[in-house]
C-alpha cells in the first residue's frame, strides 16, 4: 500500500511533462541574449564581422579587453572617472527614487486627503508618456535650476518614477489597516509606523523599485548628453557610446564596445539574480498579471 501511494504521489501526467518541457525551452530561449553578449565580448576581430554572424565564438580571446585598456590609457579623461561617475550617480539615484516612491505611495495608500484620487490618476497617466516627449521640458527644468554639470543633473531627472510609486502603493494596499491602527494605539507615531512596520513589510517592493531604478540610471546616456558639458562629469555608458561614434572608428572599436557592453551588463545581471525572489513577490502582491 505504501509503494502504491508513493507511485501516485510521484506520478506525472502528460500535461505536466509538456508544461515542463515548454517552460524549459522558453527558459533556454530567454538565455540566448545573455549567451550572445558573453560570446560576443570574447570574439576575435575577424569573427565580429562574419556574415552570416556566428552565435558562439569559435576562437575566444581576451584581446578586446586588452584593447579597451589601451583605448582608456590614451583618452584625456580616464575610464575610472567615467566609472566613478556612473557608480556614484546611480547610487544616489537609487536611494532618492526609493525615498520619494515610498513617501509618495504611503499617504496615497493609507491616508485620506483632498485630491488623492486626482494625484494618483495623474501618476498613472504619466506612465503613458514616452521618455522622448519630456526631454525638452526636462532640459529647461534642469537648466533653470542651475544644476548643469553636477551630479544632481544625473539624479534629479530620473528620480520621478511613476511605476515605482504604483508598485509601492499596490503593495502597501495589501497591509491590513488594523495592523497600523494597533501600532498607533500602542503609542507609535506616524513615522514609527512608517519606518518600523510599513518599510520592513514592503521590502520586496523596495527591492523591485531598486532594481528598476538601477537599470534606468546605470545604462542612461541622456543625462550625460543633455545636462553635462564637462567631460569629467559624464558617465560610463556615454563613454561607451563614443567608442563607435563616427565613421573613423565605427569598425575599429567594435571589439572594445563588445567588451565594455559585457562589463555594463554584469552589474544588472548580478543584482537581478540576487533580488529576483523579491521581484516575483512584488508582482504577486501588486495586482500585475
Residues 167-178 pLDDT 10s: 888 888 888 888
**Number of neighbouring beta carbons within 10 Å of residue 96:** 19
The model's pTM is 0.78
Q: Are 204 and 285 in contact (CB under 8 A)?
A: yes
Q: Are 86 and 235 in contact (CB under 8 A)?
A: yes
Task: Evaluate if residue 257 carries a pLDDT over 50.
Answer: yes
Question: What's the pLDDT at 27?
Answer: 84
Segment 233-246 mean pLDDT: 78
For all residues of the chain together, what is the average pLDDT?
81
Cell of 214: 538601477
Question: What's the pLDDT at 289?
Answer: 40
Segment 32-39 mean pLDDT: 85
Question: What's the pLDDT at 10?
Answer: 56
Q: Please enumerate in sequence order all residues whose Cβ is within 8 A of that of 79, keeping only pairs 6 or more positions apart, or say none.
A: 68, 72, 236, 239
Separation CA 19–CA 13 (nearest Å): 10
Question: What's the pLDDT at 281?
Answer: 59
Separation CA 146–CA 153 (nearest Å): 9
Segment 69-83 mean pLDDT: 79
Higher pLDDT, 273 or 108: 108
Task: Evaluate if residue 34 carries a pLDDT over 50.
Answer: yes
pLDDT tens digits for range 138-157: 888 888 888 888 888 888 88
Q: Please enumerate in sequence order all residues whose Cβ is within 8 A of that of 102, keeping only pairs 6 or more positions apart, or say none.
A: 168, 198, 199, 202, 206
Higher pLDDT, 173 or 242: 173
Question: What's the pLDDT at 93?
Answer: 93
Task: Evaluate if residue 92 carries a pLDDT over 90.
Answer: yes
Segment 14-39 mean pLDDT: 84
Separation CA 74–CA 111 (nearest Å): 57
Task: Evaluate if residue 187 carries a pLDDT over 60.
Answer: yes
Task: Evaluate if residue 248 carries a pLDDT over 50.
Answer: no
Taking the alpha carbons at both ends of the chain, their separation in whole angstroms is 42
SS3 helix, strand, coil % of the chain, rounded to 5?
A: 75, 0, 25
pLDDT tens digits for range 100-134: 999 999 998 888 888 888 988 888 888 887 777 78
User: Can you list the domains of the chain with their CATH numbers?
Assistant: 2-65 (no CATH), 73-285 (1.10.3720.10)
Name the band, by pLDDT with cuts 50, 70 and 90, for residue 280.
Answer: low
Range with lowest mean pLDDT among 148-157, 175-184, 273-282: 273-282
Amino acid at each position: 500500500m505504501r509503494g502504491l501511494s508513493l507511485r501516485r504521489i510521484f506520478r506525472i501526467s502528460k500535461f505536466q511533462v509538456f508544461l515542463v518541457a515548454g517552460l524549459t525551452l522558453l527558459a533556454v530561449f530567454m538565455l540566448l541574449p545573455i549567451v550572445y553578449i558573453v560570446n560576443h565580448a570574447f570574439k576575435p576581430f575577424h569573427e565580429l564581422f562574419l556574415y552570416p554572424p556566428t552565435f558562439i565564438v569559435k576562437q575566444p580571446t581576451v584581446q578586446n579587453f586588452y584593447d579597451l585598456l589601451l583605448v582608456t590609457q590614451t583618452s584625456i579623461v580616464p575610464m575610472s572617472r567615467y566609472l566613478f561617475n556612473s557608480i556614484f550617480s546611480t547610487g544616489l539615484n537609487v536611494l532618492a527614487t526609493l525615498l520619494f516612491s515610498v513617501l509618495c505611495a504611503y499617504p496615497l495608500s493609507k491616508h485620506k486627503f483632498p485630491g488623492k484620487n486626482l494625484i494618483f490618476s495623474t501618476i498613472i497617466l504619466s506612465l503613458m508618456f514616452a521618455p522622448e516627449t519630456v526631454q525638452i521640458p526636462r532640459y529647461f527644468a534642469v537648466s533653470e535650476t542651475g544644476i548643469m554639470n553636477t551630479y544632481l543633473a544625473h539624479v534629479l531627472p530620473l528620480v520621478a518614477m511613476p511605476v515605482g510609486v504604483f508598485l509601492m502603493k499596490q503593495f502597501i494596499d495589501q497591509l491590513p489597516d488594523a495592523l497600523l491602527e494597533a501600532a498607533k494605539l500602542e503609542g507609535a507615531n506616524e513615522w514609527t509606523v512608517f519606518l518600523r512596520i510599513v518599510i520592513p513589510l514592503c521590502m520586496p517592493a523596495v527591492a523591485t523599485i531598486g532594481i528598476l531604478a538601477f537599470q534606468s540610471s546605470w545604462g542612461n546616456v541622456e543625462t550625460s548628453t543633455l545636462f553635462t558639458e564637462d567631460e569629467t562629469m559624464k558617465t560610463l555608458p556615454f563613454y561607451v557610446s563614443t567608442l563607435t561614434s563616427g565613421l573613423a572608428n565605427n569598425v575599429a572599436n567594435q571589439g572594445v564596445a563588445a567588451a565594455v557592453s559585457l562589463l555594463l551588463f554584469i552589474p544588472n545581471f548580478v543584482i537581478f539574480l540576487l533580488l529576483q525572489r523579491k521581484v516575483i513577490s512584488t508582482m504577486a502582491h501588486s495586482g500585475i498579471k
